[in-house]
Amino acid sequence: MKLKVLEGHLGEISGFTKPKVEYEQYETPSHIAAVALYTMQTQFEALESKLVLDAGCGPGMLSCGASLLGAGTVTAVDIDGESLDILKENIEFTEVDNIDIIQCNFLCPEMYRCENYFDTVVMNPPFGTKNNAGIDMKFLKMGLDLSCDSVYSLHKSTTRSHIQKRIKEWGVKGSVIAELRYNLKSSFKFHKQHSKDIAVDLWRLHHS
Amino acid sequence: MLTSKCLRGVVTGYPLAINATIINITEVDYNPEFITRIIPKLDWEVLWRAADSIGHSDGLPQTIEPKFEENNEFLKKVHRVLLEVDIEEGNLVCPESGRRFPISKGIPNMLLTEAEVQ
Protein backbone atom coordinates (compact mmCIF):
# COMPACT_ATOMS: atom_id res chain seq x y z
CA MET A 1 0.00 0.00 0.00
CA LYS A 2 1.31 3.44 -0.88
CA LEU A 3 1.84 6.06 1.78
CA LYS A 4 -0.76 8.40 0.30
CA VAL A 5 -3.39 5.67 0.18
CA LEU A 6 -2.67 4.74 3.79
CA GLU A 7 -2.91 8.37 4.85
CA GLY A 8 -6.18 8.68 2.97
CA HIS A 9 -7.69 5.73 4.84
CA LEU A 10 -6.46 6.98 8.20
CA GLY A 11 -7.75 10.47 7.47
CA GLU A 12 -11.28 9.12 7.55
CA ILE A 13 -10.97 7.52 10.97
CA SER A 14 -12.94 9.05 13.84
CA GLY A 15 -11.12 10.50 16.82
CA PHE A 16 -12.05 11.00 20.47
CA THR A 17 -15.55 12.39 20.86
CA LYS A 18 -14.94 13.78 24.35
CA PRO A 19 -11.22 13.62 25.10
CA LYS A 20 -10.49 12.93 28.76
CA VAL A 21 -7.79 15.05 30.31
CA GLU A 22 -6.84 12.45 32.91
CA TYR A 23 -5.77 10.09 30.15
CA GLU A 24 -4.16 12.84 28.03
CA GLN A 25 -6.20 11.81 25.05
CA TYR A 26 -4.50 13.57 22.20
CA GLU A 27 -5.25 12.08 18.85
CA THR A 28 -2.47 10.76 16.70
CA PRO A 29 -2.86 12.85 13.53
CA SER A 30 -3.43 10.68 10.46
CA HIS A 31 -0.40 12.11 8.68
CA ILE A 32 1.92 11.27 11.59
CA ALA A 33 0.44 7.80 11.98
CA ALA A 34 0.76 7.07 8.27
CA VAL A 35 4.39 8.21 8.05
CA ALA A 36 5.32 6.39 11.26
CA LEU A 37 3.72 3.08 10.22
CA TYR A 38 5.02 3.32 6.67
CA THR A 39 8.56 3.86 8.01
CA MET A 40 8.25 0.86 10.36
CA GLN A 41 7.21 -1.41 7.51
CA THR A 42 9.42 -0.18 4.68
CA GLN A 43 12.62 0.24 6.70
CA PHE A 44 12.28 -2.51 9.30
CA GLU A 45 9.56 -4.89 8.07
CA ALA A 46 7.98 -4.53 11.49
CA LEU A 47 4.30 -4.96 10.60
CA GLU A 48 3.58 -7.38 7.77
CA SER A 49 2.72 -10.85 9.19
CA LYS A 50 3.77 -9.72 12.66
CA LEU A 51 2.13 -10.04 16.04
CA VAL A 52 1.54 -6.38 16.87
CA LEU A 53 0.44 -4.69 20.10
CA ASP A 54 -0.96 -1.14 20.14
CA ALA A 55 -0.54 0.11 23.70
CA GLY A 56 -2.95 2.85 24.73
CA CYS A 57 -4.63 2.58 21.36
CA GLY A 58 -7.40 5.17 21.85
CA PRO A 59 -9.68 5.25 18.78
CA GLY A 60 -7.10 3.08 17.02
CA MET A 61 -5.30 5.19 14.45
CA LEU A 62 -2.15 3.06 14.77
CA SER A 63 -4.08 -0.23 15.11
CA CYS A 64 -6.07 0.31 11.92
CA GLY A 65 -2.98 1.50 10.06
CA ALA A 66 -0.93 -1.50 11.17
CA SER A 67 -3.70 -3.83 10.07
CA LEU A 68 -3.95 -2.08 6.69
CA LEU A 69 -0.22 -2.63 6.24
CA GLY A 70 -0.65 -6.37 6.66
CA ALA A 71 -0.08 -7.11 10.36
CA GLY A 72 -0.76 -10.74 11.30
CA THR A 73 -2.90 -9.62 14.21
CA VAL A 74 -3.09 -6.40 16.18
CA THR A 75 -3.94 -6.49 19.88
CA ALA A 76 -5.34 -3.09 20.82
CA VAL A 77 -5.29 -2.21 24.50
CA ASP A 78 -6.77 0.83 26.23
CA ILE A 79 -8.15 1.68 29.65
CA ASP A 80 -11.00 3.84 28.28
CA GLY A 81 -14.14 2.04 27.12
CA GLU A 82 -15.51 4.99 25.17
CA SER A 83 -12.39 5.14 23.00
CA LEU A 84 -12.69 1.42 22.35
CA ASP A 85 -16.29 1.86 21.18
CA ILE A 86 -15.01 4.37 18.63
CA LEU A 87 -12.24 1.94 17.66
CA LYS A 88 -14.88 -0.70 17.06
CA GLU A 89 -16.64 1.66 14.63
CA ASN A 90 -13.34 2.52 12.98
CA ILE A 91 -12.60 -1.17 12.48
CA GLU A 92 -15.93 -1.67 10.74
CA PHE A 93 -15.43 1.45 8.66
CA THR A 94 -11.89 0.52 7.62
CA GLU A 95 -13.00 -3.07 6.92
CA VAL A 96 -10.04 -4.64 8.69
CA ASP A 97 -10.63 -7.97 10.37
CA ASN A 98 -7.72 -8.87 12.60
CA ILE A 99 -7.74 -6.36 15.44
CA ASP A 100 -8.37 -7.85 18.87
CA ILE A 101 -9.52 -5.33 21.48
CA ILE A 102 -8.96 -5.61 25.23
CA GLN A 103 -10.03 -3.04 27.79
CA CYS A 104 -7.38 -3.00 30.50
CA ASN A 105 -4.71 -0.92 32.14
CA PHE A 106 -1.57 -1.38 30.07
CA LEU A 107 0.60 -0.73 33.13
CA CYS A 108 -1.03 -3.38 35.35
CA PRO A 109 1.30 -6.20 36.43
CA GLU A 110 -0.90 -8.85 34.79
CA MET A 111 0.36 -7.62 31.42
CA TYR A 112 3.61 -9.46 32.19
CA ARG A 113 1.84 -12.66 31.21
CA CYS A 114 2.52 -11.45 27.68
CA GLU A 115 6.25 -10.95 28.32
CA ASN A 116 8.22 -11.16 25.04
CA TYR A 117 5.05 -12.26 23.26
CA PHE A 118 4.63 -9.56 20.62
CA ASP A 119 6.97 -9.01 17.68
CA THR A 120 6.23 -5.32 17.45
CA VAL A 121 4.78 -2.90 20.00
CA VAL A 122 3.54 0.45 18.67
CA MET A 123 2.42 3.32 20.84
CA ASN A 124 1.68 7.00 21.06
CA PRO A 125 1.92 7.14 24.83
CA PRO A 126 0.58 9.90 27.07
CA PHE A 127 3.24 12.61 27.09
CA GLY A 128 3.18 12.70 30.87
CA THR A 129 2.60 16.41 31.16
CA LYS A 130 -0.64 16.59 33.10
CA ASN A 131 -0.01 15.44 36.67
CA ASN A 132 1.27 12.08 35.56
CA ALA A 133 4.94 12.78 34.94
CA GLY A 134 6.91 9.75 33.88
CA ILE A 135 3.99 7.77 32.48
CA ASP A 136 5.55 7.93 29.00
CA MET A 137 8.64 6.11 30.30
CA LYS A 138 6.48 3.51 32.07
CA PHE A 139 4.69 2.83 28.79
CA LEU A 140 7.99 2.52 26.97
CA LYS A 141 9.46 0.10 29.52
CA MET A 142 6.34 -2.07 29.54
CA GLY A 143 6.39 -2.09 25.73
CA LEU A 144 9.96 -3.38 25.82
CA ASP A 145 9.09 -6.09 28.33
CA LEU A 146 6.20 -7.35 26.20
CA SER A 147 8.07 -7.37 22.89
CA CYS A 148 10.55 -9.92 21.62
CA ASP A 149 11.74 -7.62 18.86
CA SER A 150 11.11 -3.89 18.85
CA VAL A 151 9.02 -0.99 20.13
CA TYR A 152 8.04 2.04 18.07
CA SER A 153 6.96 5.05 20.06
CA LEU A 154 6.20 8.74 19.56
CA HIS A 155 7.70 11.27 21.97
CA LYS A 156 8.16 15.02 22.15
CA SER A 157 11.59 15.88 20.78
CA THR A 158 12.31 17.84 23.95
CA THR A 159 12.52 14.54 25.84
CA ARG A 160 15.17 13.08 23.52
CA SER A 161 18.17 13.24 25.86
CA HIS A 162 16.07 11.88 28.73
CA ILE A 163 15.01 8.89 26.65
CA GLN A 164 18.62 8.30 25.58
CA LYS A 165 19.60 8.11 29.25
CA ARG A 166 16.82 5.66 30.11
CA ILE A 167 17.65 3.43 27.15
CA LYS A 168 21.21 3.10 28.48
CA GLU A 169 19.90 2.21 31.95
CA TRP A 170 17.62 -0.43 30.50
CA GLY A 171 20.42 -1.96 28.43
CA VAL A 172 18.54 -1.79 25.14
CA LYS A 173 19.33 -0.13 21.84
CA GLY A 174 17.36 2.70 20.36
CA SER A 175 17.38 5.59 17.95
CA VAL A 176 15.14 8.22 16.46
CA ILE A 177 14.10 6.97 13.03
CA ALA A 178 11.93 9.93 12.00
CA GLU A 179 11.40 13.52 13.08
CA LEU A 180 7.82 14.70 12.70
CA ARG A 181 5.71 17.74 13.42
CA TYR A 182 2.58 17.26 15.43
CA ASN A 183 -0.09 19.88 14.94
CA LEU A 184 -1.94 19.69 18.21
CA LYS A 185 -5.42 21.10 17.88
CA SER A 186 -6.63 22.69 21.08
CA SER A 187 -8.74 19.86 22.42
CA PHE A 188 -8.93 20.87 26.08
CA LYS A 189 -10.26 24.03 27.72
CA PHE A 190 -6.93 24.93 29.28
CA HIS A 191 -5.32 25.22 25.86
CA LYS A 192 -4.86 28.91 25.21
CA GLN A 193 -3.78 28.81 21.59
CA HIS A 194 -5.95 27.44 18.84
CA SER A 195 -3.28 25.02 17.70
CA LYS A 196 0.36 24.42 18.37
CA ASP A 197 3.12 22.78 16.39
CA ILE A 198 5.13 20.30 18.41
CA ALA A 199 8.28 18.51 17.25
CA VAL A 200 7.90 14.78 17.76
CA ASP A 201 10.37 11.90 17.41
CA LEU A 202 9.55 8.41 16.25
CA TRP A 203 11.75 6.13 18.33
CA ARG A 204 12.69 2.56 17.57
CA LEU A 205 13.86 0.60 20.60
CA HIS A 206 15.03 -2.96 20.35
CA HIS A 207 16.56 -5.66 22.49
CA SER A 208 20.26 -5.97 21.86
CA MET B 1 -10.50 -13.60 18.36
CA LEU B 2 -9.33 -16.15 20.88
CA THR B 3 -5.71 -15.10 20.52
CA SER B 4 -5.59 -12.91 23.56
CA LYS B 5 -8.87 -13.75 25.27
CA CYS B 6 -7.64 -16.95 26.76
CA LEU B 7 -4.12 -17.84 25.78
CA ARG B 8 -2.18 -15.45 27.82
CA GLY B 9 -5.00 -14.30 30.04
CA VAL B 10 -4.25 -10.69 30.75
CA VAL B 11 -5.66 -10.99 34.25
CA THR B 12 -5.32 -12.63 37.61
CA GLY B 13 -5.63 -16.37 37.48
CA TYR B 14 -4.66 -18.38 34.47
CA PRO B 15 -6.09 -19.78 32.38
CA LEU B 16 -9.41 -18.01 32.47
CA ALA B 17 -12.52 -20.03 31.86
CA ILE B 18 -14.74 -18.82 29.03
CA ASN B 19 -18.50 -18.45 29.25
CA ALA B 20 -19.76 -17.57 25.82
CA THR B 21 -23.36 -16.58 25.19
CA ILE B 22 -22.87 -15.30 21.64
CA ILE B 23 -20.12 -16.58 19.35
CA ASN B 24 -19.46 -15.02 15.97
CA ILE B 25 -17.48 -16.49 13.14
CA THR B 26 -15.82 -13.88 10.96
CA GLU B 27 -13.75 -14.75 7.97
CA VAL B 28 -10.17 -13.56 8.21
CA ASP B 29 -7.50 -13.80 5.49
CA TYR B 30 -5.50 -16.99 5.93
CA ASN B 31 -1.77 -16.42 6.35
CA PRO B 32 -0.05 -19.81 6.89
CA GLU B 33 3.35 -18.21 7.48
CA PHE B 34 1.97 -16.13 10.33
CA ILE B 35 0.09 -19.05 11.90
CA THR B 36 3.19 -21.27 11.71
CA ARG B 37 5.24 -18.63 13.45
CA ILE B 38 2.84 -18.01 16.35
CA ILE B 39 2.06 -21.66 17.19
CA PRO B 40 5.29 -22.10 19.21
CA LYS B 41 4.37 -18.99 21.22
CA LEU B 42 1.06 -20.48 22.32
CA ASP B 43 0.23 -22.54 25.36
CA TRP B 44 -1.32 -25.27 23.24
CA GLU B 45 -3.05 -27.16 26.02
CA VAL B 46 -4.77 -23.99 27.20
CA LEU B 47 -5.83 -23.10 23.68
CA TRP B 48 -7.22 -26.58 23.08
CA ARG B 49 -9.22 -26.55 26.30
CA ALA B 50 -10.53 -23.05 25.59
CA ALA B 51 -11.61 -24.05 22.10
CA ASP B 52 -13.15 -27.25 23.46
CA SER B 53 -15.08 -25.39 26.17
CA ILE B 54 -16.89 -23.31 23.56
CA GLY B 55 -17.45 -26.24 21.21
CA HIS B 56 -14.81 -25.39 18.63
CA SER B 57 -12.18 -28.10 19.10
CA ASP B 58 -13.44 -30.24 16.20
CA GLY B 59 -10.48 -31.79 14.43
CA LEU B 60 -7.99 -29.93 16.57
CA PRO B 61 -5.39 -32.35 18.00
CA GLN B 62 -4.73 -32.23 21.74
CA THR B 63 -1.02 -32.11 21.18
CA ILE B 64 0.98 -30.48 18.40
CA GLU B 65 2.48 -32.96 15.97
CA PRO B 66 6.07 -32.67 14.81
CA LYS B 67 6.35 -31.03 11.39
CA PHE B 68 3.02 -29.27 11.94
CA GLU B 69 4.19 -26.54 9.59
CA GLU B 70 3.80 -28.91 6.65
CA ASN B 71 0.23 -29.81 7.57
CA ASN B 72 -1.89 -27.21 5.82
CA GLU B 73 -5.15 -28.65 7.08
CA PHE B 74 -3.93 -28.33 10.66
CA LEU B 75 -2.76 -24.75 10.10
CA LYS B 76 -6.16 -23.84 8.68
CA LYS B 77 -7.88 -25.22 11.77
CA VAL B 78 -5.58 -23.24 14.03
CA HIS B 79 -6.24 -20.15 11.92
CA ARG B 80 -9.95 -20.65 12.36
CA VAL B 81 -9.91 -21.13 16.09
CA LEU B 82 -7.39 -18.36 16.72
CA LEU B 83 -8.64 -15.66 14.41
CA GLU B 84 -12.12 -16.44 13.17
CA VAL B 85 -13.97 -17.64 16.26
CA ASP B 86 -14.92 -14.57 18.25
CA ILE B 87 -16.79 -14.31 21.51
CA GLU B 88 -19.23 -11.46 21.07
CA GLU B 89 -20.97 -11.69 24.46
CA GLY B 90 -20.01 -13.62 27.56
CA ASN B 91 -17.59 -13.68 30.46
CA LEU B 92 -14.06 -14.65 31.27
CA VAL B 93 -13.93 -16.25 34.70
CA CYS B 94 -10.91 -16.26 37.00
CA PRO B 95 -10.32 -19.84 38.18
CA GLU B 96 -9.09 -18.74 41.62
CA SER B 97 -11.45 -15.98 42.67
CA GLY B 98 -14.45 -16.68 40.46
CA ARG B 99 -14.34 -13.02 39.44
CA ARG B 100 -16.10 -12.46 36.14
CA PHE B 101 -14.75 -10.20 33.43
CA PRO B 102 -17.55 -9.30 31.03
CA ILE B 103 -17.16 -9.51 27.26
CA SER B 104 -19.45 -7.04 25.57
CA LYS B 105 -19.54 -6.35 21.82
CA GLY B 106 -16.45 -8.54 21.51
CA ILE B 107 -14.42 -6.47 23.97
CA PRO B 108 -13.37 -8.10 27.25
CA ASN B 109 -13.22 -5.64 30.14
CA MET B 110 -10.30 -6.63 32.35
CA LEU B 111 -10.30 -3.54 34.54
CA LEU B 112 -10.19 -4.22 38.24
CA THR B 113 -11.93 -1.92 40.70
CA GLU B 114 -9.73 0.06 43.05
CA ALA B 115 -10.64 -2.27 45.89
CA GLU B 116 -9.39 -5.23 43.86
CA VAL B 117 -6.04 -3.63 43.12
CA GLN B 118 -4.07 -3.93 46.33
pLDDT in tens, chain B (118 residues): 444 454 444 444 678 889 999 999 999 999 999 999 999 988 898 899 999 999 999 999 999 989 999 999 999 999 999 999 999 999 998 887 888 999 999 999 988 777 776 5
Judge whether A92 is closer than 8 Å to chain B, CB to CB.
no
Judge whether A89 is closer than 8 Å to chain B, CB to CB.
no
Task: For residue A16, give the DSSP letter.
Answer: -
- What Å distances lie between residue A109 and A21, A146, B1, B98, B106, CA to CA? 24, 11, 23, 19, 23
Judge whether B22 is closer than 8 Å to chain A, CB to CB.
no
pLDDT in tens, A70-100: 999 999 999 999 999 999 999 999 999 999 9
Phi first, then psi: what are they for B52, rounded to 5°? -65, -40
CA–CA distance, A63 with A138 (Å, rounded to integer): 20
With contacts defined as CB-CB under 8 Å, which chain A residues touch B14?
113
**CB neighbour list of residue B81: distance below 8 Å, 6 or more residues apart:** B2, B47, B51, B56, B57, B60
Q: pTM of the entire structure?
A: 0.91
CB pair distance less than 8 Å for A102 and B12:
no
Residue A11 has pLDDT above 60, yes or no: yes
Give the mutation candidate from A47, A52, A68, A73 for the B interface (greatest B CB count, under 10 A). Answer: A73
Vertex A76: Cα angle to A58 and A49 (nearest 5): 130
CB pair distance less than 8 Å for B107 and A104:
no
Strand partners, A55: A77, A123
ipTM over 0.90: no
- For residue B115, give the 3-state DSSP assignment: coil
pLDDT in tens, A99-138: 999 999 999 877 877 888 999 999 999 887 767 789 999 9
